[in-house]
Structure 1
Amino acid sequence: MLFLCTRENYTAEELFKIKQLRQIVEKSEELQIGTDETFLTKFLYYTHWDTFKAYQAIHAYYDFKLKHPTWMAHHPIQYYSKVFNATQCRFIMPQTDKNGRVLVIFKTVDAFQQFPDYLQHLIEMDDLIFESLLMLPRVQQNGITVICDLQGTTRNFLRQFSPSFMKIVNEKNGILPFSQRIVHIIQRGFLMHVTSSLFLPFMNKEFKERIFTHDGRHLNKLRDMVGFDSLPAEYGGPATNVLDTSLMLNHLNQNADYLEKIQSYKKRIL
């Protein structure tokens, strides 16, 4: 099941690593975080079950949160529901891509006039979405595939994309504990090419190698890489694969308590 949040069996070695990381975290005077299994294993999978590197990754994550608190969600799910429903720009597919990665679709939808603090809402919504996905054992193990559809990009978006903004985007990409992230950018027209050319220079080499661009009119490569059966209909998949925001919103709502709890996790300066 795609949204199954518990894993049935760990090996003896994995259980030892979970216990070891828990003990290290609990001894830390700086980290004010939980040590539940779901939380710890997302960092262990990310670091290929290297306990020391997982501990470093946790510190890096909360160093970023300490430095850039506005780039993390700070409200319950209900706070974002109006923007989420009005924009219809964040989706998850009910089946994985052909490589077993959970498939999510992000669209650029201009709602700056409707929501004055729209960009901040998007930043926090995406943080919630990523955290909710990282709860899933399938995501912890296999990672995610993201289709970024930039065809709705307007000049209102471009005004927000300063070099300092792009640097923080890259910095956050570097601390998100996904074991693998494949990104497909769909673009068409001048503004879309400007958008991707603004983002890419700030991405690190490793992340750039996992980014693939596609012309919005020719999606054969996208279909080959993701798999026909997994793609939404509007990107060349089966006609029955209709994008539906309720799948993502239901997943967020079902895990609302946990997602709100981890928002309080932090690192303190001694």
Structure 2
Amino acid sequence: MPEIAVLQPSSQLPATDSSASTLKCKSLAETSVGQHPTPLFVDDEKKTAKINELRELVENCDDFVRRSDDLFLSRFLICCDWDVQEAFQRMGKLFKLKHDHPEWFINEPLSSYKHILKRNVKFVLDKRDKNGRRIFVTKMCRMDINESPATDLAHLDELWCEFMLNDLETQQNGISCLLDMSGFSIKSLRYLTPSNIKIGTQKADLMPVKHMEFHVVNSSAFLNTAIAILYPVLSKQIKDKVHFHYSDWDSLHACLGKEALPAQYGGTNGTDFDYDALNKQLLDLEDHYSNLVKFGYELKPHVDASKYKKFFHSIDGAKHNKSKHRKSLLESELVEE
């Protein structure tokens, strides 16, 4: 029985037919999770074999229903240079993190996250950078620690990363993260608790992205304070990929190009962000996200749910707190109106 080092394997798993669990698609819009058409790499027998090998390991790793379509598995294999065991261990560590800290991962349908999406703190541009990478923007000025706890920001990251990584071109080319520090408030330093830093960096390190770079613009004195706190605990892998451009657009364009950026960053892609259109990229895929909710939270039919009573109690508690927080925000908005 294959075993993920950080999770106990199931002792009564039914036999799986790995040859039947394949999916061909190149983008999230074409993906239907749970369906198994022809292989993603139909003309590459070696890659197809590695995907099937990884699928068998994943489907037999523990008691939970796990996502195992080709496009999901390929993101880990590409990230790990097609080393099946390395990809499997990376997935196992991510599964373990989700099991131990479910409140940091999405566990509700997409409709439950519309209230944080509309704050436009994080979003993905409609055009790629000059290296074919998706551009993932974070606007620090739109963060409000009173409205968005650290877990909300983690959910936004996961929602948008799912959008980006369910695309083969992005898996191969990578992601450019554009961090706009203008308006960064000293109150936001309250996000940087030891626990938040530990879990957030673990999740970032385990994200299956082969190429990811961070481009910081409009930095401020407050940012220097944040860096002094955060930098020592960042992995070397992340540190080496952070680039500071301040307000030097020529420096930014040398890395990303101008065509995907709006005029506020010296680019040629309009004068500003069309937030409604950018969020619509994700909101149009509500059915896809609804299908994802079961993975890592739904047990296989033969499993005794009482074994995971504490785990599901934690999830229910997180959902209750999230619902209470949303209700409080809505009441505040109504009072202001």
The whole-number CA distance in structure 2 between the counterparts of 1:118 and 1:22 is 35
Candidates 149, 159, 182, aligned match of 1:151: 182
The whole-number CA distance in structure 2 between the counterparts of 1:251 and 1:8 is 26
1:226 — aligned with what? 256
Candidates 70, 84, 94, aligned match of 1:51: 84
Structure 1 residues 211 and 10 mapped into 2: Cα distance closer, same or farther (>3 Å)?
farther
C-alpha RMSD of the superposition: 2.5
2:267 — aligned with what? 237
1:205 — aligned with what? 236
Runs of 4+ in 1 over 4 A off after TM superposition: 1-10, 267-270
Give the letter for the 1:140 counterpart.
Q
Give the letter for the 1:72 counterpart.
F
What secondary structure is seen at the aligned counterpart in 2 of 1:146? strand
Structure 1 residues 253 and 190 mapped into 2: Cα distance closer, same or farther (>3 Å)?
same
Aligned-residue offset at 1:221: 1.2
Structure 1 residues 29 and 118 mapped into 2: Cα distance closer, same or farther (>3 Å)?
closer
Name stretches of at least 5 consecutive residues in structure 2 with no aligned partner.
1-25, 32-39, 300-306, 309-337
TM-score by length of 1: 0.88
Matched, 1:89 2:144: no
The whole-number CA distance in structure 2 between the counterparts of 1:235 and 1:159 is 28
1:107 — aligned with what? 139
Deviations, residues 200-259 of structure 1 (Å, cap 9, x unaligned)? 2221111111111121x3232111111122223211111626322234422322332222
Aligned-residue offset at 1:261: 2.6
Structure 1 residues 198 and 46 mapped into 2: Cα distance closer, same or farther (>3 Å)?
same
1:173 — aligned with what? 204
1:252 — aligned with what? 282
Q: How many residues align?
A: 266
The whole-number CA distance in structure 1 between the counterparts of 2:255 and 2:27 is 20
The whole-number CA distance in structure 1 between the counterparts of 2:77 and 2:41 is 17
Candidates 39, 43, 58, aligned match of 1:25: 58
Aligned-residue offset at 1:118: 4.2
TM-score by length of 2: 0.72
Name stretches of at least 5 consecutive residues in structure 1 with no aligned partner.
none
Structure 1 residues 137 and 145 mapped into 2: Cα distance closer, same or farther (>3 Å)?
same
Structure 1 residues 241 and 104 mapped into 2: Cα distance closer, same or farther (>3 Å)?
farther
What secondary structure is seen at the aligned counterpart in 2 of 1:185? strand
Structure 1 residues 38 and 254 mapped into 2: Cα distance closer, same or farther (>3 Å)?
farther
The whole-number CA distance in structure 2 between the counterparts of 1:192 and 1:10 is 48
Matched, 1:183 2:214: yes
* Percentage of matched positions with identical amino acids: 24
Aligned-residue offset at 1:92: 1.8
Structure 1 residues 231 and 196 mapped into 2: Cα distance closer, same or farther (>3 Å)?
farther
